Structure 1
Amino acid sequence: MTGRFADRRRAVAQALQSVGAEAMVVTDLRNIGYLSGFRGSAGALLIDADGEAVLATDSRYELQVVEQAPDVGHVITREYVSGVLGRRRGPGDAPVAVEADDLTLSAAAALRSALAEVGSVDAPVIETSGVIEGVRRRKDEVELGLIEKSCAVLDRAWTHMLASGLITAGRSERDVAADLEHAMRRAGSDGVAFETIVASGPNGALPHHVPGDRVLEAGDLVVIDFGAMVDGYASDCTRTVAIGQAPDRLVRAYEVVLRAQLAGVEAVRPGLGCADLDGVSRGIIEAEGFGGFFGHSLGHGVGLDVHEAPAVSTRSTSTLSDGDVITIEPGIYIPGLGGIRIEDTVAVSVGGGRSLTTTSKAFSTL
């Protein structure tokens, strides 16, 4: 059992010891892909205590599973969970871990039925949260390369939007969002990592505004938050631009956010507490009198999910580690006036933080 997928499964098997389980049924499709390479839309994976694994999927993927996941056992069945449980190699009454965040009540009942079918009705079921996600935090070289590729898509798409004059007065938020998503596709994205945010004028005070029919006007700041998926890995970036002459208060707020964002990226290093990193940027915003207008956390992890561990917030108990990929995205949101957010996807290494999204963050008037 060699290779990066096997290494990941062994890491999960080792983590299972801390929760008292001797096997784990994996049902989250992203985690199945992470641990086996299988990219189908249905299945279940069983990891035993030694990291050996078996994957169940249906006949639609009979050829695909052999190609994508050659180093695990295969069961072709529509009964995914019972299919993998039937191949358990440990004692029938040994504890089995499940992904509580992915398991619905109906799926939990099906799991119990499946255990009974294979003679393991007395096996304790241990509900876990974050076991695999904890292993996923540290990105290997392949993963980092894919995230860099995803971020390069954002850079190319953003450069196209500016060069083509597609962010301008008279266009609606909805039109700008559609053009940006099309530009990401043309630049190599497999799809969006989340619904693109285009928030103009007073809508910019809403951090997760949904693009609508409001037309961009002279004097607006426009907050644009966008992300791509490339080979299963996400990227995340926000830029804020002005349409003509913006109000002085927003221009000043932009300068403060930019300073806070640059300071946050500069502070990134392994061993730094995530709450302390949040405090670096938040402290600058508070010192300039805008603290009451910055309500969300400074950032989050990025990988297979656009939001994953670690959380970079005032409440976080995590510490940055080599191999983390996070966002640094401070903002100021002034109701009735507008908002600013500046965000980069940042890789954490022993050398510090490296922004993987690289387009200019200087104040820009279009």
Structure 2
Amino acid sequence: MKRTERLLKKMEELGLESLFLNNVQNIRYISGYTGTDSYILISPKGKWFITDYRYTEQAKNECVEFEVIERNRQTTTLGQCVNQILKDNNIKNIGFERDHINYGMLEDIKNDVEAADFIPTSGIIEELRYTKDEEEIQLIKKACEIADKAFAELLKVIKVGMTEAEAALELEYNMRKLGAEGPAFDTILISGAKTSMPHGIPSDKKIEHGDFVTVDFGAIYKGYRSDMTRTFIMGEANDEQIRLYNSVLEAQVASVEGIKAGLTGKEADDLAGKVLERDGYYEHSGKSLGHGIGLDVHEKPFMNPICQDVLKEGCVVTCEPGVYIPGWGGVRIEDTVVITADGCEILTHTPKELLIVK
């Protein structure tokens, strides 16, 4: 069944005569459109793609199921365009993405629409995106392959004295060179005591002998993203670094070996959490095993101590336990995996054993 057909079926169940989409990733999922500054209005009575002259040709090439409407931004408001479609097709209600539309846009559209009820919706497209089809999985695999290769190239050149920012730039260049559209998110490459900050920012800090170095990054390939984290040590490791690393590694391996369809997010999170609790690190853990990934870097399902999202075959998620000790440092190890009936397939293949870069 086509994605638009699945969406229309869901809309019928919810009593929606039409649905307005403004989220870029949801628009891409439903229409195949890879650009920006465009909108979808979909109904059993028609499928309309609203854009302007900058994207008309692209939309006609990519959105084959949709009637492309070119709006003159100088003379016609978005609300006027929506209103005309609703009037012409006798549509009496319109759903909108309450989690994505901003207040100003919604009010502007409401002011122009003459006779339709506005219905807030949440998660309709995200529910369709919850599991990935085979084509999506193959694109994520390619994004993971690019990340693996780019990281291997980074390890050949990273050295004591290089700044975090220089190393991050090298990694992102490698991904582009290997075919990525760009980084999946702002690359995290931090060293030393900064590794206690889960989302630390690369800076002009120089990487030093004995530092932990945490690299959390991913690639975008044809819209789909990978996410991987590796932590290694520059030059020489001390006993406490080794102990912490081995605990996080055991927790991460336990998660990928135990995760499978049917588990809740809480049950999946417990797989790693039990190891860290046994070793006395749970207090300093992120208390979140991971998240879904696809067109967005963070999407359902989520895995944490309170989450009841159920893992299904075809979900693509990250397994990324971490421990963060303020003022001292931290370790995170992360793979992207696809959930199967009895386990998972790991899509990121960079080795995880403790690496000491000389």
Please confirm whether the aligned pair reaches a TM-score higher than 0.5, indicating the same fold.
Answer: yes
Alignment-derived partner of residue 38 in structure 2:
43
Matching residue's letter, 1:209: G
Partner SS, residue 201 of structure 2: coil
**TM-score, length of structure 1 as denominator length:** 0.92
Query: 2 CA distance for matches of 1:58 and 1:48?
Result: 21
Matching residue's letter, 1:108: L
Query: 2 CA distance for matches of 1:322 and 1:109?
Result: 40
Q: How does 1:196-207 map to 2 (within 5 A)?
A: 196-207=187-198
Residues 82, 354 of structure 1: CA spacing in aligned structure 2 closer, same or farther, 3 A cutoff? Answer: farther
Q: How does 1:202-351 map to 2 (within 5 A)?
A: 202-351=193-342
Superposed CA offset, 1:111-138 (max 9, x none): 212322xxx2xx2211122111111111
Alignment-derived partner of residue 106 in structure 2:
108
Query: 2 CA distance for matches of 1:108 and 1:313?
Result: 33
Alignment-derived partner of residue 9 in structure 1:
4
Alignment-derived partner of residue 68 in structure 1:
62
Unaligned runs of 5+ in 2: none
Matching residue's letter, 1:65: A
Matching residue's letter, 1:355: I
Matching residue's letter, 1:251: I
Partner SS, residue 168 of structure 1: coil
Superposed CA offset, 1:130-170 (max 9, x none): 111111111111111111111111011011112x2x22211
Deviation at 1:239, TM superposition (A): 0.3
- Alignment of 1:57 onto 2:51: yes
- Alignment of 1:151 onto 2:144: yes
Deviation at 1:226, TM superposition (A): 0.6
Superposed CA offset, 1:17-73 (max 9, x none): 4543221001112211110111221211111147x4111111122221111011111
Query: 2 CA distance for matches of 1:212 and 1:34?
Result: 35
Deviation at 1:87, TM superposition (A): 2.8
Residues 85, 349 of structure 1: CA spacing in aligned structure 2 closer, same or farther, 3 A cutoff? Answer: farther
* 2:126 corresponds to which of 124, 133, 152: 133
Structure 1 vs Structure 2 CA RMSD: 1.6
Query: 2 CA distance for matches of 1:182 and 1:40?
Result: 23
Share of identical aligned residues, percent? 36
After the TM superposition, which parts of structure 1 deviate over 6 Å for at least 4 consecutive aligned residues? none
Deviation at 1:324, TM superposition (A): 0.6
Question: Please, which moves more after superposition, 232-241 or 129-138?
Answer: 129-138
Answer whether contact 2:82 2:113 (CA < 8 A) is retained.
no
Deviation at 1:103, TM superposition (A): 1.2
Answer whether contact 1:301 1:307 (CA < 8 A) is retained.
yes
Query: 1 CA distance for matches of 2:298 and 2:12?
Result: 26
Partner SS, residue 96 of structure 2: strand
Aligned residues: 352
Query: 1 CA distance for matches of 2:287 and 2:84?
Result: 46
Answer whether contact 2:79 2:110 (CA < 8 A) is retained.
no
**TM-score, length of structure 2 as denominator length:** 0.94
Alignment-derived partner of residue 27 in structure 1:
22
Query: 1 CA distance for matches of 2:342 and 2:66?
Result: 36
Query: 2 CA distance for matches of 1:252 and 1:305?
Result: 34
Query: 2 CA distance for matches of 1:301 and 1:326?
Result: 4
- Alignment of 1:124 onto 2:122: no
Superposed CA offset, 1:264-304 (max 9, x none): 11112111111100011011100111111103411000000
